[in-house]
Amino acid sequence: MLSRVTLIAIVFCCGVSGWSHAAEPLAGTQPLTWEGDLSVRMVDDLHKFADRETAASIERRARHWQRDFTSPEAYDKSVAANRTRLAKYLGVKYPPPPETVARVVEPPREAGFAAMSPAVSLLGDEEMTLGIPFRFVRWPVHVDVWGYGFQARPKGTIKATAIFVLDEQFEYELGTRRQSILDVATSLYAAGCEVFFVPIIDRSNAQSFVALGAKQTNQTHREFIHRQAFEMGRSALGYDVDTVRGLLNSRIGTEKQPIAVLGTGVGGRVALLTGALDPRVDVTGVCGAFGPQETLFERPLDHDIWGFLDEFGDAELASLVVPRHLIVDVATGGKYRGKELQPTKVHGAAPGTLVVPTSEQAHAEIERALKLAPVQREWKLGAIVDGLTADAGTMSFSSEVAQRLGLSPATLETAAPPEAGIWKGFWNALQEADRFAEAYETAQAETVRQWIEHTQALMRESEFVRKEWWKDADRKSRDPAKWQASLTGYKHYFYNEVLGRFEYDLLPPNARTRLIYDTPKYRGYDVVLDVFGVAEKETGKDEAAGGVWALGTLLVPKDLMPGEKRPVVVCQHGLEGKPEDTILPNLKGSNYYHMFAARLAERGFVVFSPQNPYIGKDHFRQLVRKLHPLKKTLWSVIVPQQQQITDWLASLEFVDPTRIGFYGLSYGGKTAMRVPALVDNYCLSICSGDFNEWIRKCTSVREPFSYMGTHEYEMFEFDLGHTFNYAEMAYLIAPRPFMVERGHRDGVGVDEWVSYEYAKVRMLYADLKIPERTEIEYFDGPHEIHAVGTFDFLHRHLNWPAKE
């Protein structure tokens, strides 16, 4: 093997810091003339591509809808499938039946909590008077989760129920013509309406810690819960919706009473989502939250909803409320107050800012909603109104709600005005009521604890869910061919529903190359290939204005004989890496890769080292945020990139297309689990420094190696926990050879969990009577390429004799 000094000298002689346009291309390809850092250019172009896809999603949503306007009943039936998919993307589950809830064990009595029945129950017997008497209550949501809030129950016959979903950080300036939320509640209460105030999950970080408090993060409770929930097919917003629907379950009796769900700020989004999902809601009111959603990636991580923009925007949500009533307040004076967090040493929270849609944005979305469901005006059953402004000729928000609840407007007019203290808003008044403020804080802390434990329970149970889900894979025949044939549906689901698939055909590769290395044993070329979505080139320039293209480095041994076809090893770098990291010595003194790509080329393999787009820190992570609402991930780009790379490699005259193997470290190990599962050109895969009990690594708040306590907020994949752990991803690779390389000192996991997960893979290969095709190598080292057992594995399964 070449010495470090010799190889460095050769590289600098070839001009690694700046390439000549005259650099020799590989035979049969065009010259590559692009300059600068091409990894940066790749991610920039992917952002442009994602922006175009997001803009196009508005018109594309129509393909998911078959609205039938012949009658309200027919319309509701025609959008049932859309409602089901919305529930799936939010992870909304119907609350359990009463007989299940009744078995819940009562929690400890804290802050004066009293024993309760399964329905809405008092927590203590005190009242807080803010113009109307409020009592602190709770209700069942799941078998292990309770909802908490405040109830104002009028005397006499209850004519309707109004549920206010409140965001304690949202506020707006109160002008002479604008009502406060508590003012609206007071008016409805006086008209005979039962009122509930339901808070969303809060944004403190008191319980956002991992490993029993050893690592406290600056993630808000909403982000902390959302991260783990996303992996299990749930979401923080979905949990808020579940809380409201649990209250609906507790309030619905044999006599039907009209129900309104109204919300402010993020509570307004919860109200809109609840109204869209639940036909029991007669009136939906949204304050400061209705508008375009195409910039979800700019908001806090708890707004990261899988697949949302592929099928929905707020106009589409409004069309799910139809023919029931929707009232929209644009809340032009709305704003969000900051929340002071506890200081932490771990700063892994995702960036994001809460914003209130402008009046122009809200009205534009309202107009789009009216075009989607214009027949609502003929039915005279629904209304979309700019609500809370009481200008001449416009009813107040409370009057709009009351009218649609069937309450008498005259009753509202004679209702006693609220006390002066009410105008400061409910949350300010709550803080002045010490007893209730203490109870509220205790309940909020309990809510967060319960949702965390609920999600952790989903994680622990997920292995059994996956086992049941995989029952149709033909393992019993013990026939590798039959096993492989039975994987078709699972691969389709993995690609389309988990990783996300762009429905574009691959372009001709249009390979552009240039010579960058010339060593005694191999030549190296930079390679660029078109993949799809490449916009028209700028006039007079060889540049694509955004799109998906592949980049990498090809190493070609110099001892190739005419007509000879060699095996290929694709060597994949990790997080923030580049192809040269796998080839060159690390001049900074720490080399996790140990030049494994160069060493394999010296052994006679053709080697290709791709540039994967997980580079640029938050820049690439925000790309993932853009892709998630489109029902896509970074793998939606990487899989077709690697398909194009391997197709092109297979076309080279010196490559044997049946002998292309994959070997990746760290994030490259993640690639080793996902890409060969879907790219059949790979005849084997080696996962180094990443194989794990992956669901636990992403979701656990107990394990110190969990991603719950790191800055890598892009790692979470929607509902992976119920479908594919790393063992199941390896199942998709079988019966092709598969290997794990594991260092005892590698902090990405612990040997016990790695071994536990790998044992399932080993058992499958044994069941298929091919145990020799899989192995794991442990070595006493850190997070690095060991290149001992793995090199032997490559020589053996790629049928290439080992050389000294």
User: Using only C-alpha atoms, what is the Rg of the chain?
Assistant: 30
Give pLDDT, residue 276.
95
- Give the 3-state secondary structure of residue 716: coil
Tokens encoding 794: 């490559």
Give pLDDT, residue 287.
83
Give pLDDT, residue 265.
86
Give pLDDT, residue 355.
86
Output the 3-class SS for 136-204. Answer: EEEEEEECCEEEEEEEECCCCCCCEEEEEEECCCEEECCCCCECCHHHHHHHHHHCCEEEEEEECCCCC
Ordered mean pLDDT values, 10 residues apiece, the chain (804 residues): 45 42 84 96 97 97 94 91 96 55 33 38 51 79 90 86 85 51 79 89 91 83 97 97 92 72 91 95 90 95 97 96 86 63 76 88 88 64 40 56 78 44 45 64 89 97 97 97 98 98 96 97 98 62 72 98 97 97 78 94 98 97 98 98 98 98 98 98 98 97 93 96 98 98 96 98 98 98 97 98 77
- Let me know: does 412 contact 191? Beta carbons within 8 Å: yes
User: Which has the closest alpha carbon to 265: 229, 221, 300, 234?
Assistant: 300
- Let me know: does 429 contact 168? Beta carbons within 8 Å: no
User: Which has the closest alpha carbon to 579: 558, 605, 598?
Assistant: 598
d(CA 707, CA 699): 7
Q: DSSP character for 655? A: E
Q: pTM for this one?
A: 0.91
Cis peptide before 323 (omega within 30 of 0): yes
Give pLDDT, residue 89.
97
